[in-house]
Amino acid sequence: MTTLSLEIAVLAKAYTEGGLTPEGVLDAVYARIDERGERPVWIHLLSRAEAGRQLDAAQARKAAGADLPLFGIPFAVKDNIDVAGLSTTAGCPDFAYTPDRSATVVQRLVDAGAILIGKTNLDQFATGLVGTRSPYGIPSSVFDERYVSGGSSSGSGVAVGAGLVSFALGTDTAGSGRVPAAFNNVVGLKPTKGLVSASGVVPACRTQDVVSIFAGTAGDALAVLKVMGAFDPADPYSRKAPAAATEPAAWPLGFRFGVPRDGLEFFGDDAAARLFAAAADRLEALGGTRVPVDFTPFRDAAQLLYSGPWVAERLAAIRDFAKASPDSIHPVVRGIVLGAEAIGAVDAFAGMYRLAELTRKAEAEWAGMDVLLLPTTGTTYTIEELLADPVRLNSNLGYYTNFVNLMDLSAIAVPAGFRPGNGPKGGLPFGATLVGPAFADGALAVLADRLHRAQALPIGATRQLPQGPALDADHAAPGTVRLAVVGAHLSGQPLNHQLTGRGARLVRTARTDGGYRLFALAGTVPAKPGLVRDAGGAGGIELEIWELTEAAFGSFVAEVPPPMAIGTVLLEDGTAVKGFLCEPAALAGAEDITGFGGWRRWLAR
């Protein structure tokens, strides 16, 4: 069970096929938690018996015919979100209360069959992007205990990054659902404001708060969002979203992604700068067109969140408690929140006017792009560095995140590589964020999934690559064809230019279903493999999926020489695409290389 994948899609398939049981998965989860220890990730950890009782209830409803899309999936909740019968602390023991009802989002997840494991640590009152402002201990990055985990949803990010749960809820006002994702190499989906109910959530800035999702893949995050996302009349800031908001959407070839023409800031982290440049290059390889944009209005709006009147919302959320028990509040949080007493009504209106001006300027940039690509953070810091300079360094971490909710945008943070192990901050992950208009959540998740899978990065600190199906496996853009290549047309191989020269984009890597063999053909220049459908073949052969227009596909096929042919190739996720196959007559003298698992591995033998 130590190699058990907790991806939602993987668990759901294993439950259906009988390869795993929810009971066995819960046993593995609690074994992992016991090995790691309860603190500082968890503020309240449910017992294995309590989790078992939830599972019993879900099984009874499932047996009665209920549709439970998250049946048996373990999850965690940030401890500023109510769970009936459990204390809500918001990271402050003296503030704690015990609610009679769960937050709307938690209830929807439990009703869908998910199993709550516990409540996670956070920067107190969700004020901070660092994870160092909690009396329950300081969570650290799952890659290096010297470095911060990110906040304020620190425990939730670590719980997913360490493989303790399949997904976790955080909250995101300034970036708290994205920064911990970057620092723990997981996906962080920040929904559009009002798409997910905030009823039963301790507010930070009530007009800007959203409940966010940490997961191993964008597909898992979107599956959770589809359960959570619904209008809630109990939440005055809930919005009736279009049905397409949580549905995967195809991206056309040549989609436009914005990258700041200037204003990129990495705070001296050269490795992060190189990783971001690589992420932009990769998005181009996936079919995007890079568009330089003016980042100034976004950057200036970001500064308003903590230097403008919205700080007063943090005071409004806990004013009575802050005045009655100021010494119960973390010193850094207290300084931020009580400092808002100097903000007046005139300041509030001036701030709103300034934000409206900046949003209008940003609209001019959005006219030229479909999505904005940014670093999730420009750098990261050690816990020691943050404790010594808590306000300035925290502000640095919000450079690319603070404006998103103020401007009513959607966003998803996705892993984007690792710093070299022998350099500064060696071995630590880097994250990129895709930002889109309001209610573009489903579309962003598709693009994030492509970017994630194109890099072949593991989930969190595990060595496991995503095992579930790609989010857009069945969503080719209209007027395009998906093509599987196995040899000389792979990225970096001699004939790849025949694809890129036609404007094709790399969608993802994949493997064939069982029943295929791969051969190294004799006497071909350049060297070519032959893929053959054979019931006795082991399959599992690595390939790449490319997407090109129907016209480009037609011209490409016209150039395919014998003994190659284009047919239908079945993938291990159950989908079918067009792909290279080989005439059996060409196998005379060929070497069976199926056991290598793919052309690249055979070449590197």
Catalytic residue ranges: 78, 152, 176
Using the 8-state DSSP alphabet, how is residue 490 labeled? S
d(CA 548, CA 479): 9
The first and second tokens of residue 230, run together, are: 């619904």
Per DSSP (E only), the strands in 403-458 are 410-418, 429-436
Single-letter amino acid code for the residue at 98 = T
The first and second tokens of residue 385, run together, are: 């560095």
d(CA 370, CA 434): 10
d(CA 474, CA 477): 10
Contacts of 377 (CB under 8 A, 6+ apart): 150, 179, 182, 183, 272, 396, 397, 399, 400, 401, 431
What DSSP element (H or E) covers 415?
strand 410-418
Write down how long the chain is. Answer: 605
- Could you please report the per-residue DSSP string of 137-200? ---EETTEEEEE--SSSHHHHHHHHTTS-SEEEEEESSSTTTHHHHHHT-EEEEPPTTTB--TT
Residue with tokens 């659902």: 177
**Is the distance from CB of 520 to CB of 552 less than 8 angstroms?**
no
d(CA 172, CA 213): 9
Q: From the CB of residue 346, how many other CB atoms can be counted at a distance below 10 Å?
A: 9
Q: For residue 357, which phi and psi values (nearest 5 degrees)?
A: -65, -45
**Is the distance from CB of 405 to CB of 173 less than 8 angstroms?**
yes
